Chain A
Amino acid sequence: MIRGENLSKRYGDMQALAPTNIQIREKAITAIMGGSGSGKTTLLRLLSGLEKPSTGHVWFGDEDIAAIPESRLYELREQMGMLFQYSALLNSLNVYDNIAFPLHEHTELDEEVISTIVTMKLEQVGLRGFEELMPSELSGGMAKRVAFARAMSMDPKVVFFDEPTSGLDPISSGVITTLIKDTSDKNHMTSLVVTHDVHAGLSIADHVILLWQGTIIAKGSADDIRNSNDERVQQFLEGRPDGPIPFSRSTTTYLDDITHKPGTVRLEP
Protein backbone atom coordinates (compact mmCIF):
# COMPACT_ATOMS: atom_id res chain seq x y z
CA MET A 1 0.00 0.00 0.00
CA ILE A 2 2.81 2.43 0.85
CA ARG A 3 6.00 2.07 -1.09
CA GLY A 4 9.16 4.13 -1.00
CA GLU A 5 11.16 4.05 -4.18
CA ASN A 6 14.77 5.21 -4.18
CA LEU A 7 13.81 7.36 -1.21
CA SER A 8 16.47 9.56 0.37
CA LYS A 9 16.72 12.66 2.51
CA ARG A 10 19.53 15.11 3.03
CA TYR A 11 19.68 17.95 5.54
CA GLY A 12 22.53 20.12 4.29
CA ASP A 13 25.61 17.88 4.47
CA MET A 14 23.85 15.34 6.62
CA GLN A 15 22.52 12.31 4.78
CA ALA A 16 19.68 11.41 7.13
CA LEU A 17 18.44 8.63 4.88
CA ALA A 18 20.42 6.97 2.08
CA PRO A 19 18.49 5.98 -1.06
CA THR A 20 16.13 3.28 0.09
CA ASN A 21 13.50 1.03 -1.41
CA ILE A 22 10.89 0.07 1.07
CA GLN A 23 7.53 -1.63 0.99
CA ILE A 24 5.01 -1.31 3.79
CA ARG A 25 2.63 -4.25 3.86
CA GLU A 26 -1.04 -3.50 3.91
CA LYS A 27 -3.06 -4.46 7.02
CA ALA A 28 0.06 -5.49 8.89
CA ILE A 29 2.39 -4.06 11.50
CA THR A 30 5.78 -2.94 10.31
CA ALA A 31 8.30 -2.11 13.00
CA ILE A 32 11.10 0.29 12.16
CA MET A 33 13.96 -0.10 14.59
CA GLY A 34 17.40 1.33 14.88
CA GLY A 35 19.63 3.39 17.07
CA SER A 36 19.24 7.01 17.95
CA GLY A 37 19.72 9.24 14.91
CA SER A 38 19.51 6.36 12.46
CA GLY A 39 16.79 8.07 10.42
CA LYS A 40 13.62 6.46 11.76
CA THR A 41 11.69 9.66 12.28
CA THR A 42 12.95 10.94 8.95
CA LEU A 43 11.65 7.83 7.20
CA LEU A 44 8.27 8.22 8.89
CA ARG A 45 8.01 11.89 7.92
CA LEU A 46 8.84 11.04 4.32
CA LEU A 47 6.31 8.23 4.13
CA SER A 48 3.57 10.40 5.63
CA GLY A 49 4.30 13.26 3.24
CA LEU A 50 5.29 15.69 6.02
CA GLU A 51 8.70 16.05 4.42
CA LYS A 52 9.61 16.12 0.75
CA PRO A 53 12.24 13.54 -0.20
CA SER A 54 15.55 14.70 -1.67
CA THR A 55 15.24 11.93 -4.23
CA GLY A 56 12.71 9.27 -5.01
CA HIS A 57 8.99 8.75 -4.65
CA VAL A 58 6.50 7.67 -2.05
CA TRP A 59 3.66 5.68 -3.54
CA PHE A 60 0.42 5.64 -1.62
CA GLY A 61 -1.68 3.23 -3.64
CA ASP A 62 -0.86 4.46 -7.12
CA GLU A 63 -0.35 8.11 -6.18
CA ASP A 64 3.00 9.76 -5.56
CA ILE A 65 2.58 11.63 -2.29
CA ALA A 66 5.43 14.03 -3.07
CA ALA A 67 3.88 15.03 -6.40
CA ILE A 68 0.11 15.15 -5.90
CA PRO A 69 -1.65 18.47 -5.32
CA GLU A 70 -1.92 19.63 -1.72
CA SER A 71 -5.70 19.26 -1.66
CA ARG A 72 -5.45 15.58 -2.62
CA LEU A 73 -2.79 14.98 0.02
CA TYR A 74 -5.17 16.34 2.66
CA GLU A 75 -7.91 14.02 1.37
CA LEU A 76 -5.58 11.05 1.77
CA ARG A 77 -4.63 12.17 5.25
CA GLU A 78 -8.18 11.75 6.48
CA GLN A 79 -7.37 8.03 6.42
CA MET A 80 -4.08 8.47 8.28
CA GLY A 81 -3.18 8.93 11.90
CA MET A 82 0.11 9.87 13.43
CA LEU A 83 1.54 9.70 16.89
CA PHE A 84 4.43 12.14 17.16
CA GLN A 85 7.59 11.36 19.08
CA TYR A 86 7.03 14.43 21.29
CA SER A 87 3.23 14.14 21.30
CA ALA A 88 2.54 17.47 19.51
CA LEU A 89 -0.77 18.07 21.27
CA LEU A 90 -2.51 21.33 20.39
CA ASN A 91 -1.56 23.58 23.31
CA SER A 92 -4.66 25.71 23.25
CA LEU A 93 -7.08 22.79 23.55
CA ASN A 94 -7.74 20.51 26.51
CA VAL A 95 -7.42 16.72 26.39
CA TYR A 96 -11.03 16.23 25.27
CA ASP A 97 -10.80 18.74 22.43
CA ASN A 98 -7.45 17.38 21.30
CA ILE A 99 -8.87 13.91 20.86
CA ALA A 100 -12.13 15.19 19.41
CA PHE A 101 -10.31 17.54 17.03
CA PRO A 102 -10.20 15.24 13.96
CA LEU A 103 -13.83 14.24 14.60
CA HIS A 104 -14.96 17.86 14.81
CA GLU A 105 -13.03 18.66 11.65
CA HIS A 106 -13.99 15.82 9.39
CA THR A 107 -17.24 14.33 10.59
CA GLU A 108 -20.78 15.56 11.07
CA LEU A 109 -21.27 13.50 14.22
CA ASP A 110 -23.34 14.81 17.12
CA GLU A 111 -21.39 16.04 20.10
CA GLU A 112 -22.92 13.20 22.11
CA VAL A 113 -21.45 10.60 19.76
CA ILE A 114 -18.10 12.37 19.70
CA SER A 115 -18.10 12.48 23.48
CA THR A 116 -18.74 8.73 23.59
CA ILE A 117 -15.87 8.07 21.18
CA VAL A 118 -13.51 10.28 23.21
CA THR A 119 -14.47 8.50 26.41
CA MET A 120 -13.81 5.13 24.76
CA LYS A 121 -10.42 6.23 23.47
CA LEU A 122 -9.45 7.69 26.84
CA GLU A 123 -10.52 4.50 28.59
CA GLN A 124 -8.23 2.53 26.26
CA VAL A 125 -5.23 4.59 27.32
CA GLY A 126 -6.32 4.66 30.96
CA LEU A 127 -6.94 8.39 31.18
CA ARG A 128 -10.71 8.60 31.49
CA GLY A 129 -11.54 11.53 33.78
CA PHE A 130 -8.67 13.68 32.55
CA GLU A 131 -10.71 15.36 29.80
CA GLU A 132 -10.46 18.85 31.21
CA LEU A 133 -6.68 19.00 31.67
CA MET A 134 -4.62 21.18 29.36
CA PRO A 135 -1.56 19.67 27.62
CA SER A 136 0.74 21.75 29.84
CA GLU A 137 -0.73 20.01 32.87
CA LEU A 138 0.12 16.51 31.63
CA SER A 139 3.26 14.49 32.28
CA GLY A 140 5.27 13.36 29.27
CA GLY A 141 3.88 9.86 29.44
CA MET A 142 0.30 11.08 29.83
CA ALA A 143 0.71 13.41 26.86
CA LYS A 144 1.99 10.45 24.85
CA ARG A 145 -1.09 8.45 25.74
CA VAL A 146 -3.41 11.31 24.83
CA ALA A 147 -1.55 11.66 21.54
CA PHE A 148 -2.09 7.95 21.00
CA ALA A 149 -5.81 8.35 21.59
CA ARG A 150 -5.90 11.29 19.20
CA ALA A 151 -4.08 9.38 16.47
CA MET A 152 -6.67 6.62 16.77
CA SER A 153 -9.79 8.78 17.13
CA MET A 154 -10.79 8.56 13.46
CA ASP A 155 -10.07 4.81 13.28
CA PRO A 156 -7.55 5.47 10.52
CA LYS A 157 -6.54 2.96 7.89
CA VAL A 158 -2.86 3.81 8.17
CA VAL A 159 -1.19 4.86 11.39
CA PHE A 160 2.34 6.09 11.92
CA PHE A 161 3.58 5.62 15.47
CA ASP A 162 6.81 7.41 16.33
CA GLU A 163 8.08 5.84 19.55
CA PRO A 164 4.65 5.07 21.02
CA THR A 165 6.14 3.65 24.21
CA SER A 166 9.18 5.80 24.94
CA GLY A 167 8.74 7.72 28.15
CA LEU A 168 6.07 5.33 29.39
CA ASP A 169 6.25 3.11 32.46
CA PRO A 170 6.42 -0.64 31.74
CA ILE A 171 2.71 -1.20 32.39
CA SER A 172 1.46 1.63 30.14
CA SER A 173 4.04 0.57 27.61
CA GLY A 174 2.70 -2.97 27.62
CA VAL A 175 -0.89 -1.74 27.34
CA ILE A 176 -0.09 0.51 24.38
CA THR A 177 1.84 -2.24 22.61
CA THR A 178 -1.03 -4.67 23.01
CA LEU A 179 -3.45 -1.98 21.92
CA ILE A 180 -1.54 -1.42 18.70
CA LYS A 181 -1.54 -5.14 18.02
CA ASP A 182 -5.24 -5.59 18.81
CA THR A 183 -6.55 -2.61 16.86
CA SER A 184 -4.35 -3.47 13.90
CA ASP A 185 -5.79 -6.96 13.82
CA LYS A 186 -9.39 -5.94 14.46
CA ASN A 187 -9.60 -2.90 12.18
CA HIS A 188 -7.26 -4.25 9.50
CA MET A 189 -5.10 -1.25 10.10
CA THR A 190 -1.74 -0.69 8.44
CA SER A 191 0.66 0.30 11.21
CA LEU A 192 4.16 1.63 11.10
CA VAL A 193 5.76 1.53 14.49
CA VAL A 194 9.07 3.23 15.11
CA THR A 195 10.55 1.90 18.29
CA HIS A 196 13.68 1.41 20.37
CA ASP A 197 12.00 -1.34 22.29
CA VAL A 198 13.42 -4.49 20.71
CA HIS A 199 11.19 -6.94 22.55
CA ALA A 200 7.96 -5.06 21.98
CA GLY A 201 8.89 -4.39 18.38
CA LEU A 202 9.72 -7.99 17.59
CA SER A 203 6.73 -9.35 19.47
CA ILE A 204 4.04 -7.40 17.61
CA ALA A 205 5.58 -6.81 14.19
CA ASP A 206 4.71 -8.81 11.11
CA HIS A 207 7.62 -7.18 9.37
CA VAL A 208 10.72 -5.55 10.78
CA ILE A 209 13.05 -3.02 9.24
CA LEU A 210 16.35 -2.29 10.93
CA LEU A 211 18.04 1.02 10.17
CA TRP A 212 21.60 2.06 10.86
CA GLN A 213 22.97 5.48 9.93
CA GLY A 214 20.32 6.06 7.32
CA THR A 215 20.58 2.65 5.65
CA ILE A 216 18.46 -0.45 5.99
CA ILE A 217 20.73 -3.20 7.33
CA ALA A 218 18.09 -5.86 7.75
CA LYS A 219 14.48 -6.54 6.98
CA GLY A 220 12.15 -9.48 7.29
CA SER A 221 9.91 -11.21 9.80
CA ALA A 222 10.74 -11.03 13.47
CA ASP A 223 12.28 -14.50 13.26
CA ASP A 224 14.41 -13.50 10.28
CA ILE A 225 15.77 -10.66 12.37
CA ARG A 226 16.32 -12.80 15.46
CA ASN A 227 18.20 -15.37 13.43
CA SER A 228 20.16 -12.90 11.35
CA ASN A 229 23.87 -13.60 10.96
CA ASP A 230 24.66 -9.92 10.65
CA GLU A 231 26.86 -8.90 13.60
CA ARG A 232 25.30 -5.42 13.64
CA VAL A 233 21.81 -6.86 13.98
CA GLN A 234 22.85 -9.16 16.81
CA GLN A 235 24.60 -6.34 18.60
CA PHE A 236 21.49 -4.17 18.36
CA LEU A 237 19.19 -6.94 19.58
CA GLU A 238 21.38 -7.76 22.54
CA GLY A 239 22.22 -4.15 23.31
CA ARG A 240 25.93 -4.93 23.50
CA PRO A 241 28.15 -1.84 23.87
CA ASP A 242 30.99 -3.40 21.84
CA GLY A 243 30.64 -4.55 18.28
CA PRO A 244 30.51 -3.28 14.75
CA ILE A 245 28.09 -0.47 15.65
CA PRO A 246 30.03 2.12 17.64
CA PHE A 247 28.12 3.66 20.52
CA SER A 248 29.84 6.99 19.97
CA ARG A 249 28.80 8.98 16.95
CA SER A 250 31.94 11.16 17.12
CA THR A 251 34.34 11.05 14.20
CA THR A 252 37.44 12.24 16.05
CA THR A 253 39.53 10.39 18.61
CA TYR A 254 38.68 11.00 22.24
CA LEU A 255 42.32 11.34 23.34
CA ASP A 256 42.99 14.01 20.74
CA ASP A 257 39.88 15.98 21.66
CA ILE A 258 40.54 15.82 25.36
CA THR A 259 44.17 16.88 24.99
CA HIS A 260 43.15 19.55 22.45
CA LYS A 261 45.30 18.14 19.68
CA PRO A 262 44.09 18.78 16.17
CA GLY A 263 41.65 15.95 15.56
CA THR A 264 42.73 12.96 13.55
CA VAL A 265 39.74 11.46 11.82
CA ARG A 266 38.94 8.00 13.04
CA LEU A 267 38.38 5.41 10.34
CA GLU A 268 34.86 4.06 10.05
CA PRO A 269 34.69 0.40 11.11
Chain B
Amino acid sequence: MSESGMNQAPALQFFGRLGRRALCSLEQLGDATRLGAHALSLIVARPWQGKHFILQLYALGVGSLIIIAITGAFTGMVLALQGYYTLAKFGSESLLGAGVALSIIRELGPVLGAFMVIGRAGSSITAEIGIMRVTEQTDALEMMAVNPKQRILLPRIIATAIAVPLLIAIFDVIGIGAGYVVGVELLHVNPGAYVAEMVAKVTMHDIYGGWTKSIVFGFMIGMICTYMGYRSEPTTEGVARATTQAVVIASVGVLIMDYILTSFFL
Protein backbone atom coordinates (compact mmCIF):
# COMPACT_ATOMS: atom_id res chain seq x y z
CA MET B 1 0.00 0.00 0.00
CA SER B 2 2.49 2.52 1.22
CA GLU B 3 4.92 1.41 -1.45
CA SER B 4 2.53 2.01 -4.31
CA GLY B 5 1.69 5.38 -2.80
CA MET B 6 5.34 6.28 -2.85
CA ASN B 7 5.72 5.13 -6.43
CA GLN B 8 2.68 7.02 -7.55
CA ALA B 9 3.78 10.40 -6.39
CA PRO B 10 6.83 10.74 -8.68
CA ALA B 11 4.89 9.23 -11.56
CA LEU B 12 2.07 11.68 -11.05
CA GLN B 13 4.57 14.47 -10.81
CA PHE B 14 6.16 13.33 -14.04
CA PHE B 15 2.88 13.28 -15.93
CA GLY B 16 1.91 16.57 -14.35
CA ARG B 17 5.11 18.14 -15.61
CA LEU B 18 4.67 16.53 -19.01
CA GLY B 19 1.13 17.83 -19.25
CA ARG B 20 2.12 21.33 -18.24
CA ARG B 21 4.95 21.29 -20.78
CA ALA B 22 2.56 20.16 -23.50
CA LEU B 23 0.02 22.84 -22.62
CA CYS B 24 2.75 25.45 -22.55
CA SER B 25 4.05 24.39 -25.96
CA LEU B 26 0.54 24.41 -27.36
CA GLU B 27 0.01 27.88 -25.99
CA GLN B 28 3.27 29.05 -27.56
CA LEU B 29 2.28 27.55 -30.88
CA GLY B 30 -1.00 29.43 -30.73
CA ASP B 31 0.77 32.64 -29.76
CA ALA B 32 3.30 32.22 -32.57
CA THR B 33 0.56 31.63 -35.12
CA ARG B 34 -1.34 34.66 -33.94
CA LEU B 35 1.70 36.90 -33.98
CA GLY B 36 2.78 35.65 -37.42
CA ALA B 37 -0.73 36.03 -38.83
CA HIS B 38 -0.97 39.52 -37.38
CA ALA B 39 2.37 40.53 -38.87
CA LEU B 40 1.37 39.08 -42.24
CA SER B 41 -1.98 40.86 -42.19
CA LEU B 42 -0.06 44.13 -41.99
CA ILE B 43 1.20 43.52 -45.52
CA VAL B 44 -1.85 45.40 -46.79
CA ALA B 45 -1.41 48.27 -44.34
CA ARG B 46 0.28 51.52 -45.32
CA PRO B 47 3.09 52.42 -45.46
CA TRP B 48 4.54 49.75 -47.74
CA GLN B 49 7.63 48.06 -46.39
CA GLY B 50 9.15 47.40 -49.84
CA LYS B 51 12.53 48.94 -49.07
CA HIS B 52 12.92 46.96 -45.85
CA PHE B 53 11.85 43.78 -47.58
CA ILE B 54 14.50 44.25 -50.27
CA LEU B 55 17.16 44.98 -47.64
CA GLN B 56 16.26 41.79 -45.78
CA LEU B 57 16.09 39.75 -48.95
CA TYR B 58 19.54 40.98 -49.87
CA ALA B 59 21.03 40.29 -46.43
CA LEU B 60 19.46 36.86 -46.27
CA GLY B 61 19.80 35.73 -49.86
CA VAL B 62 23.16 37.12 -50.89
CA GLY B 63 24.56 36.58 -47.41
CA SER B 64 23.77 32.88 -47.47
CA LEU B 65 24.86 32.28 -51.06
CA ILE B 66 28.41 31.12 -50.37
CA ILE B 67 27.52 28.68 -47.64
CA ILE B 68 24.70 27.29 -49.80
CA ALA B 69 27.07 26.87 -52.75
CA ILE B 70 29.66 25.08 -50.63
CA THR B 71 27.23 22.72 -48.93
CA GLY B 72 25.46 22.08 -52.24
CA ALA B 73 28.70 21.18 -53.96
CA PHE B 74 29.92 18.84 -51.26
CA THR B 75 26.53 17.19 -50.88
CA GLY B 76 26.45 16.43 -54.61
CA MET B 77 30.02 15.17 -54.56
CA VAL B 78 29.57 12.85 -51.61
CA LEU B 79 26.27 11.58 -53.01
CA ALA B 80 28.01 10.68 -56.25
CA LEU B 81 30.72 8.79 -54.35
CA GLN B 82 28.30 6.93 -52.14
CA GLY B 83 25.83 6.30 -54.95
CA TYR B 84 28.57 4.95 -57.18
CA TYR B 85 29.74 2.57 -54.46
CA THR B 86 26.21 1.16 -53.99
CA LEU B 87 25.17 1.12 -57.64
CA ALA B 88 28.42 -0.53 -58.75
CA LYS B 89 27.44 -3.57 -56.67
CA PHE B 90 24.44 -4.03 -58.97
CA GLY B 91 26.31 -3.04 -62.10
CA SER B 92 24.01 -0.09 -62.65
CA GLU B 93 26.42 2.85 -62.47
CA SER B 94 24.50 4.47 -65.33
CA LEU B 95 21.73 5.28 -62.85
CA LEU B 96 24.09 7.51 -60.84
CA GLY B 97 22.82 10.75 -62.41
CA ALA B 98 19.20 9.89 -61.61
CA GLY B 99 20.11 8.86 -58.07
CA VAL B 100 22.02 12.03 -57.28
CA ALA B 101 19.42 14.33 -58.84
CA LEU B 102 16.44 12.65 -57.16
CA SER B 103 18.02 12.65 -53.72
CA ILE B 104 18.99 16.28 -54.00
CA ILE B 105 15.80 17.61 -55.53
CA ARG B 106 13.38 15.64 -53.39
CA GLU B 107 15.17 15.56 -50.08
CA LEU B 108 18.64 16.83 -49.45
CA GLY B 109 18.34 20.18 -51.20
CA PRO B 110 15.33 21.40 -49.23
CA VAL B 111 16.41 19.95 -45.88
CA LEU B 112 20.10 20.79 -45.93
CA GLY B 113 19.44 24.15 -47.56
CA ALA B 114 16.93 24.94 -44.82
CA PHE B 115 19.41 23.89 -42.12
CA MET B 116 22.06 26.17 -43.56
CA VAL B 117 19.68 29.14 -43.70
CA ILE B 118 18.58 28.47 -40.11
CA GLY B 119 22.17 28.44 -38.89
CA ARG B 120 23.38 31.33 -41.00
CA ALA B 121 20.41 33.71 -41.09
CA GLY B 122 17.67 32.41 -38.80
CA SER B 123 19.77 32.64 -35.66
CA SER B 124 20.82 36.18 -36.47
CA ILE B 125 17.20 37.21 -37.08
CA THR B 126 16.25 35.93 -33.61
CA ALA B 127 19.25 37.55 -31.94
CA GLU B 128 18.72 40.86 -33.73
CA ILE B 129 15.05 41.12 -32.79
CA GLY B 130 15.76 39.93 -29.24
CA ILE B 131 18.39 42.61 -28.75
CA MET B 132 16.05 45.24 -30.14
CA ARG B 133 13.62 44.24 -27.42
CA VAL B 134 16.20 44.21 -24.63
CA THR B 135 17.35 47.70 -25.54
CA GLU B 136 13.74 48.93 -25.88
CA GLN B 137 14.28 49.77 -29.55
CA THR B 138 10.98 48.11 -30.42
CA ASP B 139 9.28 50.28 -27.79
CA ALA B 140 10.99 53.31 -29.26
CA LEU B 141 9.66 52.36 -32.70
CA GLU B 142 6.18 52.00 -31.27
CA MET B 143 6.36 55.41 -29.67
CA MET B 144 7.51 56.87 -32.98
CA ALA B 145 4.33 55.47 -34.48
CA VAL B 146 6.11 52.73 -36.41
CA ASN B 147 4.66 49.29 -35.84
CA PRO B 148 7.56 46.90 -35.13
CA LYS B 149 5.44 43.96 -36.25
CA GLN B 150 5.09 45.59 -39.64
CA ARG B 151 8.58 47.08 -39.85
CA ILE B 152 10.66 44.34 -38.25
CA LEU B 153 8.73 41.06 -38.38
CA LEU B 154 6.85 41.25 -41.67
CA PRO B 155 9.79 41.96 -44.03
CA ARG B 156 11.84 39.22 -42.38
CA ILE B 157 9.09 36.60 -42.67
CA ILE B 158 8.40 37.40 -46.32
CA ALA B 159 12.10 37.64 -47.16
CA THR B 160 12.84 34.20 -45.69
CA ALA B 161 9.79 32.70 -47.40
CA ILE B 162 11.11 33.92 -50.75
CA ALA B 163 14.86 33.59 -50.24
CA VAL B 164 14.82 29.99 -49.00
CA PRO B 165 13.23 28.47 -52.16
CA LEU B 166 15.63 30.46 -54.34
CA LEU B 167 18.65 29.41 -52.30
CA ILE B 168 17.50 25.80 -52.39
CA ALA B 169 17.14 25.98 -56.17
CA ILE B 170 20.76 27.12 -56.34
CA PHE B 171 21.75 24.36 -53.92
CA ASP B 172 20.07 21.80 -56.22
CA VAL B 173 21.78 23.02 -59.38
CA ILE B 174 25.23 23.19 -57.79
CA GLY B 175 24.75 19.82 -56.10
CA ILE B 176 23.76 18.10 -59.32
CA GLY B 177 26.63 19.79 -61.17
CA ALA B 178 29.15 18.72 -58.55
CA GLY B 179 27.73 15.19 -58.65
CA TYR B 180 28.30 15.17 -62.39
CA VAL B 181 31.91 16.23 -62.01
CA VAL B 182 32.66 13.49 -59.47
CA GLY B 183 30.63 10.83 -61.30
CA VAL B 184 31.83 11.49 -64.82
CA GLU B 185 35.28 13.01 -64.45
CA LEU B 186 36.50 11.08 -61.41
CA LEU B 187 34.59 7.82 -61.51
CA HIS B 188 34.29 7.63 -65.29
CA VAL B 189 30.58 6.98 -65.51
CA ASN B 190 29.41 7.39 -69.10
CA PRO B 191 28.38 11.06 -69.42
CA GLY B 192 25.58 10.29 -71.88
CA ALA B 193 24.07 7.69 -69.57
CA TYR B 194 24.48 9.96 -66.57
CA VAL B 195 22.49 12.79 -68.15
CA ALA B 196 19.99 10.62 -70.03
CA GLU B 197 19.00 8.63 -66.97
CA MET B 198 18.71 11.81 -64.96
CA VAL B 199 16.42 13.44 -67.52
CA ALA B 200 14.35 10.28 -67.86
CA LYS B 201 13.89 9.55 -64.15
CA VAL B 202 13.36 13.03 -62.69
CA THR B 203 9.76 14.13 -63.29
CA MET B 204 8.04 17.46 -62.79
CA HIS B 205 6.27 15.83 -59.86
CA ASP B 206 9.62 15.50 -58.06
CA ILE B 207 10.51 19.08 -58.79
CA TYR B 208 7.15 20.42 -57.58
CA GLY B 209 7.53 18.34 -54.44
CA GLY B 210 10.94 19.90 -53.79
CA TRP B 211 9.58 23.37 -54.41
CA THR B 212 6.62 22.87 -52.09
CA LYS B 213 8.98 21.73 -49.37
CA SER B 214 11.31 24.66 -49.76
CA ILE B 215 8.48 27.21 -49.72
CA VAL B 216 6.96 25.67 -46.60
CA PHE B 217 10.38 25.47 -44.91
CA GLY B 218 11.18 29.08 -45.77
CA PHE B 219 7.94 30.28 -44.36
CA MET B 220 8.36 28.19 -41.21
CA ILE B 221 11.88 29.45 -40.60
CA GLY B 222 10.74 33.05 -40.94
CA MET B 223 7.83 32.57 -38.56
CA ILE B 224 9.78 30.65 -35.91
CA CYS B 225 12.88 32.83 -35.88
CA THR B 226 11.01 36.13 -35.76
CA TYR B 227 8.64 34.83 -33.10
CA MET B 228 11.41 33.53 -30.85
CA GLY B 229 13.20 36.87 -31.05
CA TYR B 230 10.11 38.98 -30.49
CA ARG B 231 8.90 36.97 -27.53
CA SER B 232 12.32 36.31 -26.00
CA GLU B 233 12.74 37.24 -22.37
CA PRO B 234 14.24 40.74 -22.46
CA THR B 235 17.57 39.86 -20.86
CA THR B 236 20.98 38.92 -22.25
CA GLU B 237 20.41 35.34 -21.17
CA GLY B 238 16.89 35.34 -22.54
CA VAL B 239 18.07 36.36 -26.00
CA ALA B 240 20.86 33.78 -25.96
CA ARG B 241 18.38 31.08 -24.97
CA ALA B 242 15.84 32.22 -27.57
CA THR B 243 18.50 32.07 -30.29
CA THR B 244 19.48 28.50 -29.46
CA GLN B 245 15.85 27.49 -29.14
CA ALA B 246 14.99 29.08 -32.46
CA VAL B 247 17.69 27.03 -34.19
CA VAL B 248 16.63 23.80 -32.49
CA ILE B 249 12.90 24.28 -32.98
CA ALA B 250 13.26 25.39 -36.59
CA SER B 251 15.56 22.45 -37.42
CA VAL B 252 13.36 19.85 -35.74
CA GLY B 253 10.30 21.52 -37.27
CA VAL B 254 11.85 21.24 -40.73
CA LEU B 255 12.48 17.50 -40.24
CA ILE B 256 8.98 16.81 -38.95
CA MET B 257 7.39 18.86 -41.70
CA ASP B 258 9.65 17.09 -44.18
CA TYR B 259 8.23 13.75 -43.19
CA ILE B 260 4.65 15.00 -43.36
CA LEU B 261 5.14 16.59 -46.78
CA THR B 262 7.03 13.58 -48.15
CA SER B 263 4.22 11.27 -47.12
CA PHE B 264 1.79 13.51 -49.04
CA PHE B 265 3.85 14.08 -52.15
CA LEU B 266 5.34 10.60 -52.52
Chain A residues in contact with chain B, CB under 8 A?
48, 50, 70-71, 74-75, 77-78, 80-82, 84, 86, 88-91, 101-102, 105-106, 150, 160
Q: Size of chain B's interface in residues, with CB distance under 8 A?
A: 16
B135 touches A71 (CB 8 A): no
Which of B47, B136, B143 is most buried by chain A, counting CB atoms within 10 A of its CB?
B143
B48 CB to nearest A CB, Å: 13
Name the prevailing secondary structure of the A interface residues.
Answer: mixed
B136 touches A77 (CB 8 A): no
- B1 interface hit (Cβ, 8 Å): no
Q: Residues of A contacting B135 with CB < 8 Å?
A: 86, 88, 91
Instruction: Using A74-B147, A106-B145 as known contacts, say yes or no to A86 and B136 having CB atoms under 8 A apart.
Output: yes
- B31 interface hit (Cβ, 8 Å): no
- B27 interface hit (Cβ, 8 Å): no
Q: How many A-B residue pairs have CB under 8 A?
A: 50
- B146 interface hit (Cβ, 8 Å): yes
Q: Which of B125-160 contact A (CB under 8 A)?
A: 131-132, 135-137, 139-147
Q: Residues of A contacting B144 with CB < 8 Å?
A: 77, 101-102, 105, 150
Task: Kindly identify which residue among A50, A71, A88, A102 contacts B45, using a CB–CB cutoff of 8 Å.
Answer: A71
Please give me the residue from chain B that is nearest to A50 by CB atom. B139
Complex Cα distance A82/B136, Å?
Answer: 12
Please give me the residue from chain B that is nearest to A153 by CB atom. B144
Task: Kindly identify which residue among B47, B132, B145 contacts A102, using a CB–CB cutoff of 8 Å.
Answer: B145
Q: Residues of A contacting B139 with CB < 8 Å?
A: 50, 84, 88
A154 CB to nearest B CB, Å: 8
Complex Cα distance A102/B140, Å?
Answer: 11
Please give me the residue from chain B that is nearest to A79 by CB atom. B145
